[in-house]
Structure 1
Amino acid sequence: MAITATTHLNFHGEARQALEFYQSVFGGNLTAVAYSDFGMPKDLPDADKVVFGQVNAENGFSIMAYDTPSQSPAAAAPTATTRENGLTLTGERFFISVSGETSDEVSALWDKLSSGAEIVEKFGPSRFAPGFGMLTDRFGVTWILQVTAPYAA
């Protein structure tokens, strides 16, 4: 039996823009279905928001997203990020981790994903990988990008 886990992000009206951005970074096919496509009257405030969204790429990247209904409580603000003894510490509840086999492959993704992002740790060689970086994108999602090839420090 094979099991696959896919990150599902919750937004407040930005799901379509986020999914379009992630598709521009990782490639693949985008599906975005609005609440009105499922029968919500088009004159209601959430009708054009995404109830089901997904990007699937041939390289294995997959992410899902939707817009929470407007009556849902607001998302909690992200927690602070600090550096201690050369390590990045953050109180975020989760990161999305993307791994690739070469620095060229991963740095190309980094260059696209970092547009409009807050850089937590700049992409480059680290103590444990030939390439590693962390950022919070323009939609408030924190990403780790790393090269999985063995690293000879």
Structure 2
Amino acid sequence: MGSQVNPCITFNGNARQALEFYREVFGGELAVGTVGDFGSPDSPHAGKVMHARLDTPAGYTLMAWDFPDDRPGHPPYRPGNNVAVFLGGDDGDLREYFEKLSVGGTVTLPLEEQVWGDEAGSLVDRFGISWMFNITAQQQ
């Protein structure tokens, strides 16, 4: 598969509704996973979207999530700073990109194995741009 770059839009609690609207506009397949679905069913944020992905017939991919209102180091939510660049795939270069982008920036989630089995992490680079990474677990 290699890797790919997609926009990942941050919402303030209404990511599901927004992606359902985008599905009406663009068509396609929508997958939504909540914080509870990804291993934290007792969290006060269990119903918030942790990851949503819309793949459209035109070949567009939109991703979204609900703002983590209590994550240290993450810039505060405000309209206008609600897009992150998402890098995902099985490409080993993603780790190197994560390290290079973090220089002078702030790691908001260390790149490490997550409950869904992949490695994931996020950071804000020295220019204030948010980046999200997901490295697909190798199938054994």
Structure with larger RCO (C-alpha < 8 A, sep 6+): 2
So what's the TM-score if we normalise by structure 2? 0.49
